Amino acid sequence: MKILVATEKPFAPLAVNMIREVTEAAGHELALLENYTDVADLLSEVADADALIVRSDKVTAQVLDAAKNLKIVVRAGAGYDNLDLTACSANNVVAMNTPGQNSNAVAELAFEMMLYQARGGFAGKAGTELRGKTLGLMAFGNVGKYMANIAKGFGMDVYAFDPFLSGEAIEKAGVKVCKTVDDLFSKCQYVSLHIPANDETKKSIGFELLKKMPKNAVLINTARKEVIDEDGLLKIFAERGDISYLSDVAPDCKNEFEEKYKDRFIFTAKKMGAQTKEANINAGVAAARQIADYFKTGNETFRLNK
Ligand code: 3PG
């Protein structure tokens, strides 16, 4: 079987070697398409692939139509808003993700941005500390749990809102429960988003929630830029000079931030949350193993589509 790794933002070389080892040990062949800028390259490479490993690369109906032999696609990572699951099912392609494998890297990036911002970008002025501050986790999944552990080490007061988890499960992790999103935003100076981008969550974080945040509010977004209502974000920035926005990937309104709100934002140049050697190895190798196992035993753990 031909397993294609198609990554517009490549894995670390060591991760690619390890993916190759797993693939070849299972008797399959590895093909690599890295750093591509034209979807036409993906369309031609995928034409004879039996399996596909991607990161945030878009697997659209067009890609699936071109992939006549494709049986399985694995998103090496957590968020699968880049996979057209309906088209996968229509083309009899099994779609999976690798939840949890890059979560520590994402949580560390959120903290790195928080620390950098709290110390004013290390520019020499007096900053603030995280100790004793409130942190609200918007969803308590894999990343949220890593965040809670790091935050507790820093002496932060940690809260979480998660409509899919019982209060007990959150409390067991030593985190205080917020029953509503409003409560989370009202209580916490720092709010970190760990929600997927879907029809319910897109543009769900906007002016009304952000205006509830305490003084010197910091919104951290290592989820997806699509969950932010950017008009609302700009409105709160215009009204409140004490709010900051730290985001893994710049919003569409980046220019306005650069013109008006210097020192109150951090935007990464490219999505960096999962961009560590360890996360690349964890997620990439998990993807290769899931594919090898699917071909060998039909194991469909982590299947996303019906
Ligand atoms: C994820 O959903 O797993 C992260 O956002 C990582 O995305 P990436 O693989 O494109 O860096």
Distance, CA 91 to ligand 1 centroid (Å)?
24
In sequence order, the β-bridge partners of residue 75 are: 54, 97
Cβ 274 under 6 angstroms from ligand 1: yes
Ligand 1 pocket: which of 271, 272, 280, 281 to mutate (most atoms within 8 A of CB): 271
Cβ 96 under 6 angstroms from ligand 1: no
Domain 2-101+275-297 in CATH 3.30.70.270: no
| Cα torsion angle, 37, 33, 227, 271, sign | negative
What pLDDT is recorded for position 116? 98
Same topology between domain 2-101+275-297 and domain 103-267: yes
Computed over every residue of the chain, the mean pLDDT equals 98
What pLDDT is recorded for position 19? 98
Residue ranges covered by each domain of the chain: 2-101+275-297, 103-267
Ligand 1 pocket: which of 5, 56, 75 to mutate (most atoms within 8 A of CB): 56
**CB proximity list for 94: less than 8 A, separation 6 or greater:** 71, 72, 73, 88, 294, 300, 303, 305
Share of the chain above pLDDT 70, in %: 100
- Quick one: which atom of ligand 1 is closest to the CA of 272? 11
**DSSP E strands, the chain:** 2-7, 29-34, 51-54, 72-75, 94-97, 134-138, 157-161, 176-177, 190-193, 218-221, 244-247, 265-267
What pLDDT is recorded for position 256? 98
What pLDDT is recorded for position 50? 99
Report if pTM > 0.95: yes
pLDDT category at 286 given cuts 50, 70, 90 is very high
pLDDT tens for 3-55 read 999 999 999 999 999 999 999 999 999 999 999 999 999 999 999 999 999 99
pLDDT tens for 129-146 read 999 999 999 999 999 999
What pLDDT is recorded for position 5? 99
What pLDDT is recorded for position 282? 98
What pLDDT is recorded for position 277? 98
**Residue whose CA is at the smallest distance from ligand 1 atom 5:** 79
**Residue whose CA is at the smallest distance from ligand 1 atom 6:** 274
Cβ 102 under 6 angstroms from ligand 1: yes
pLDDT tens for 109-118 read 999 999 999 9
CATH of the domain spanning 103-267, picked from 3.30.2130.10, 3.40.50.300, 3.40.50.720, 3.40.50.800: 3.40.50.720
Cβ count near 23 (within 10 Å): 24
What pLDDT is recorded for position 251? 98
What pLDDT is recorded for position 145? 98
Cβ 97 under 6 angstroms from ligand 1: no
Rounded Cα–Cα distance for residues 77 and 135 (Å): 25
